[in-house]
């Protein structure tokens, strides 16, 4: 018998955040907006690019550490399971089998779970229901179509075979201003870190340099360019709303004069999206030399303005 | 001693006008006279040597000047070319026939086919490519990881390369389902005279099986059909004649929905009912309702 209530992802290109938003709302653990979730968790400061601009960039980071800390900032305690399947992994199946019961229990308690690759799309999604007789989980991904359920046997077996589940356990009170501050510190760390999880992935300031370099050399994944620009444009638009909101708080009033820089980052990404529109996974992606030059110029502009904004943040939160 | 060595030996004696005959060759190399005669025929017909039998001398001679080609085929190379000649002969098209004739000409007189011989993996890839182009079924002997070999009849769909190895994505008639085969585990391969047509579930299975190496499982469904459907439209079909229930596997419900509404339903009294899984029955019902609301 089918159990669980259909849970949609929040409307954002960032599949983890969309999934977290959906699960938190359904579990009654978060009442805010999605742009506030971007800001409070710190995910809105993510900016990771592979040197070939491959579309994996936005999801290549330390999931276990960051996802825990992100939801901790909004006072939500989570539990996670992560096993990467490669030719030497012995316990992948055991981990999945053990997780099936935990997922069922979480859903029965009214708490959908975040998972990786519940459908053929290599993105995060939600498991919101199950039918133990048919041995399937009912899932949502970031696409508009109603996906087929996920067989218990296929849990963790997406094209990027990582078994990952994050359970929403409970919530506690948190200090809003402190969480914003922590989020800024996390953002600054990202901005300066230069390298994400692996050497071919750059983060923060360095990620801008990677895009500009790839465009100047005309050597990049054209689908990835469009995908990443769209993901980060959406993220920066959400962050702008969040920054506007918190600049009204006394502790963060220092943001007011520098918001103009962040707005210019948003404007640059919005224009880049017009030059590199997303046409779906099967669309054709070709850019003229002029378009490449213009996107590179826009990224240079965004880099300059985000640098000004982040420096202002750094000066004021120390 | 290989044929190359014998040919060189005969050639040297012919040049020295020693008039060698089949008896001489068979004694020198401890081979049959019939084999010795094949060597002379190879020299004469495959290498176009001006060799004639001189009755008065009781042996062969060159009637004109002749020098051996710079390159000789080893026996295993001849086997390889003969195999290619036989397989290309089964593939339609002028180019295939020309290649078959060329390989046959190079190897000389056609011998009896050997049961076991070493074939290069690249030869299989070449033949498979041709078989795919002309939609020809293949009969293969495939070595399983356990080292046992199995004969399979397959419809070859696509060759692909992953993790430095070549694979073939195909429909396996023994399994009535799609599989990928590691080319280096194919021990024998024959092009069949039979052609195949693309299975309608090709694309979704290709994405599930060949683009992802995680061996994801497919859904299993049971459907009651008042009339027996064409089983070859399904994968892993099992038909229960008594209860008129078809059990089969599928990859996604959208394509299955399209298949179900495209069945020959205009027979009087034709009905079907999805017995399991429950989610599929609900989803198809919902799709049918949505579809009928647009009519």
How would residue A246 be classed by pLDDT, with cut points 50, 70 and 90?
A: very high
Work out the percent of chain B whose per-residue pLDDT is above 70. 93
Residue B210 DSSP SS3: helix
Strand B165-172 to strand A162-171: parallel, antiparallel, or no bridges (unpaired)? unpaired
The percent of residues above 70 in pLDDT, for chain A, comes to: 99
* Residue in A225, A238, A224 with CA at minimum distance from that of residue A266: A238
> A76-84 and A162-171 as β-strands: parallel, antiparallel, unpaired?
antiparallel
Average pLDDT over residues B12-22: 92
Q: Provide the pLDDT for residue B265.
A: 65
CA A6 centroid distance within chain: 21
Its pTM stands at 0.81
Measure the CA–CA gap between A166 and A67, rounded to whole angstroms: 8
So what's the pLDDT on residue A111? 97
Q: How many CB atoms lie within 10 A of CB B292?
A: 8
Q: Complex ipTM, two decimals?
A: 0.88
Q: Output the average pLDDT for chain A.
A: 94
∠ CA A230-A236-A237, nearest 5°, is 90
Where are the alpha helices (H) located in chain A, listed in sequence order?
A: 15-26, 34-41, 63-72, 92-108, 176-193, 205-217, 222-246, 259-275, 289-317
pLDDT digit string, tens, across residues B166-199 = 999 999 999 999 999 999 999 889 999 899 999 9
How many angstroms separate the CA atoms of A166 and A23, rounded? 10
Closest residue by Cα to residue B138 from B180, B188, B198, B199: B188
Q: Which residue has the higher pLDDT, A84 or A258?
A: A258
A101 has a chain B CB within 8 A of its CB: no
Residue B117 has pLDDT above 60, yes or no: no
Residue B158, pLDDT score: 92
Give the mutation candidate from B279, B282, B285, B287 for the A interface (greatest A CB count, under 10 A).
B279
**A134, A148, A157: residue with CB nearest B252:** A148
> Is the pLDDT higher at B270 or at A316?
A316
Nearest to B246 by CA among B270, B217, B226: B226
* Helix axis angle, A34-41 to A222-246, nearest 10°: 90
If pLDDT is split at 50, 70 and 90, which confidence band does B108 have? Answer: low
Question: Which tens digits make up the pLDDT trace of A108-150?
Answer: 999 999 999 999 889 999 999 999 999 999 999 988 889 999 9
Instruction: Please check the confidence at residue B114 and state whether its pLDDT lies above 60.
Output: no
Asked if the C-beta of A151 comes within 8 angstroms of chain B's C-beta atoms, the answer is: yes
Residues in B 181-240 with any Cβ partner in A closer than 8 A: 207-208, 211-212, 214-217, 219
Model confidence pLDDT, tens digit, residues A183-196? 999 999 999 986 66
Q: Which of A134, A146, A159 sits opposite B212 (nearest CB)?
A: A159
List CB contacts (< 8 A) between B215 and chain A: 157
- Of A13-27, B32-46, B75-89, B245-259, the range with the lowest mean pLDDT is B75-89
3-state SS, residue A256: helix
Helices (H), chain B: 3-15, 22-29, 33-41, 75-90, 94-107, 121-133, 202-205, 253-261, 278-293
Q: What is the pLDDT of residue A264?
A: 98
Residue B111 reports pLDDT greater than 60: no
Report the residue from A120, A138, A151 with minimal CB separation from B219: A151
Regarding beta strands B272-276 and B165-172, do their DSSP bridges make them parallel or antiparallel, or are they unpaired? Answer: unpaired
Average model confidence (pLDDT) across chain B: 87
The number of residues in chain A equals 318
SS3 category, A74? coil
pLDDT for residue B266 is more than 80: no
The rounded distance, in Å, linking the Cα atoms of A73 and A182 is 8
Which has more pLDDT, B165 or A164? A164
- Taking only the tens place, the pLDDT of each residue in B150-169 is 999 999 999 988 888 899 99
pLDDT recorded at residue A176: 97
Q: Which of A72, A60, A314, A300 has the alpha carbon at shortest distance from A187?
A: A314
CA distance A267 to A236: 10
The better pLDDT of the pair A225, B2 is held by A225
d(CA B108, CA A41): 77
What pLDDT, on a 0 to 100 scale, did the predictor assign at position B73? 72
Instruction: Compute φ and ψ for B223, nearest 5 degrees.
Output: -130, 135
End-to-end C-alpha distance for chain A, whole angstroms:
55
* Termini Cα distance of chain B: 80
Question: What is the spatial distance between Cα A164 and Cα A177, in angstroms, rounded to a whole number?
Answer: 31
In whole angstroms, give the CA distance from residue A37 to residue A17: 8
Residue B72 has pLDDT above 80, yes or no: no
Rounded mean pLDDT, B277-288: 94
**Does residue B136 contact residue B88 with C-beta atoms inside 8 Å?**
no
Q: How far apart are CA B97 and CA B86, in angstroms?
A: 10
Is the per-residue pLDDT at A318 higher than 80?
no
- Put simply, whether A161 touches B (Cβ < 8 Å) is yes
Kindly identify which residue of chain A lies nearest to residue B214, measuring between CA atoms. A157
What is the per-residue pLDDT for A33?
Answer: 97
Return the higher-pLDDT residue of A277 and B162. Answer: A277
Place B118 in a pLDDT band, splitting at 50, 70 and 90: low
Touching B: A residues 106-135, CB under 8 Å = 120, 131, 133-134
Residue B211: per-residue pLDDT:
75
Distance CA B52, CA B63 (A): 7
pLDDT in tens, B207-220: 888 777 778 999 99
Q: What is A155-187 written as a DSSP string?
A: TT-SSS-EEEEEEEEEE----HHHHHHHHHHHH
Q: Which residue has the higher pLDDT, A86 or B70?
A: A86
Q: Is the pLDDT of residue A153 over 70?
A: yes
pLDDT at A168: 98
Spatial distance between the Cα atoms of A141 and A125, rounded to a whole number of angstroms: 5
Q: Which of B211, B217, B253 sits opposite A148 (nearest CB)?
A: B253
Contact list, B211 vs chain A (CB under 8 Å) = 159
Select from A45, A2, A315, A9 the least CA-distant residue to A180.
A45
């Amino acid at each position: 018998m089918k159990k669980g209530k259909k849970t949609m992802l929040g409307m954002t290109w960032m599949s983890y955040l969309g999934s977290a938003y959906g699960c938190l709302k359904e579990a009654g653990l978060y009442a805010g907006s999605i742009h506030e979730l971007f800001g409070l968790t710190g995910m809105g400061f993510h900016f990771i690019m592979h040197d070939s601009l491959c579309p994996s960039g936005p999801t290549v980071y330390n999931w276990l550490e960051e996802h825990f800390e992100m939801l901790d900032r909004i006072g939500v305690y989570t539990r996670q399971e992560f096993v990467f399947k490669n030719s030497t992994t012995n316990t992948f199946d055991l981990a999945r089998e053990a997780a099936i019961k935990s997922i069922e229990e979480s859903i029965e308690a009214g708490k959908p779970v975040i998972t990786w690759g519940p459908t053929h799309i290599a993105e995060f999604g939600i498991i919101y229901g199950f039918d133990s007789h048919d041995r399937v989980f009912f899932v949502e991904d970031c696409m508009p179509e109603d996906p087929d359920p996920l067989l218990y046997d296929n849990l963790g077996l997406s094209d990027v075979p990582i078994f990952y589940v994050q359970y929403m356990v409970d919530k506690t009170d948190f200090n809003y201003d402190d969480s914003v501050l922590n989020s800024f510190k996390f953002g600054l760390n990202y901005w300066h870190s230069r390298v994400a999880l692996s050497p071919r992935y750059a983060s923060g300031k360095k990620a801008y340099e990677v895009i500009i370099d790839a465009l100047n050399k005309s050597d990049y994944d054209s689908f990835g360019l469009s995908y990443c620009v769209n993901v980060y444009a959406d993220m920066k638009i959400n962050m702008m709303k969040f920054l506007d909101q918190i600049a009204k708080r006394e502790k963060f009033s220092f943001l007011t004069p520098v918001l103009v820089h962040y707005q210019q980052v948003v404007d640059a990404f919005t224009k880049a999206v017009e030059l590199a529109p997303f046409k779906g996974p099967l669309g054709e992606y070709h850019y003229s030399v002029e378009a490449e030059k213009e996107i590179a110029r826009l990224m240079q502009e965004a880099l300059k303005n985000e640098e000004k904004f982040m420096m202002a943040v750094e000066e004021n939160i120390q | 001693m290989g044929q190359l060595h014998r040919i060189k030996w005969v050639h040297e004696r012919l040049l020295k006008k020693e008039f060698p005959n089949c008896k001489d060759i068979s004694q020198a190399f401890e081979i049959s006279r019939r084999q010795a005669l094949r060597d002379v025929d190879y020299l004469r017909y495959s290498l176009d040597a001006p060799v004639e039998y001189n009755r008065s001398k009781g042996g062969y001679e060159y009637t004109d000047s002749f020098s051996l080609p710079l390159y000789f085929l080893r026996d295993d190379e001849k086997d390889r070319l003969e195999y290619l000649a036989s397989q290309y002969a089964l593939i339609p098209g002028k180019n295939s026939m020309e290649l078959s004739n060329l390989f046959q000409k190079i190897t000389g007189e056609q011998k009896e086919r050997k049961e076991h011989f070493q074939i290069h993996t690249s030869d299989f890839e070449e033949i498979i490519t041709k078989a795919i182009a002309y939609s020809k079924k293949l009969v293969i002997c495939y070595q399983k990881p356990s080292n046992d070999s199995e004969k399979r009849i397959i419809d070859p769909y696509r060759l692909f390369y992953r993790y430095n190895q070549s694979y073939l994505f195909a429909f396996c008639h023994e399994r009535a389902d799609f599989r990928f085969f590691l080319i280096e585990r194919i021990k024998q391969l024959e092009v069949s005279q039979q052609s195949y047509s693309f299975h309608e579930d090709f694309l979704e299975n290709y994405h599930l099986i060949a683009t992802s190496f995680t061996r994801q499982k497919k859904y299993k469904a049971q459907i009651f059909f008042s009339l027996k459907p064409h089983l070859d439209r399904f994968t892993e079909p099992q038909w229960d004649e008594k209860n008129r229930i078809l059990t089969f596997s599928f990859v996604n419900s959208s394509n299955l929905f399209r298949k179900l509404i495209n069945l020959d339903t205009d027979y009087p009294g034709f009905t079907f009912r999805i017995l399991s899984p429950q989610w599929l029955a609900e989803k198809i019902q919902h799709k049918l309702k949505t579809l009928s609301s647009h009519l």
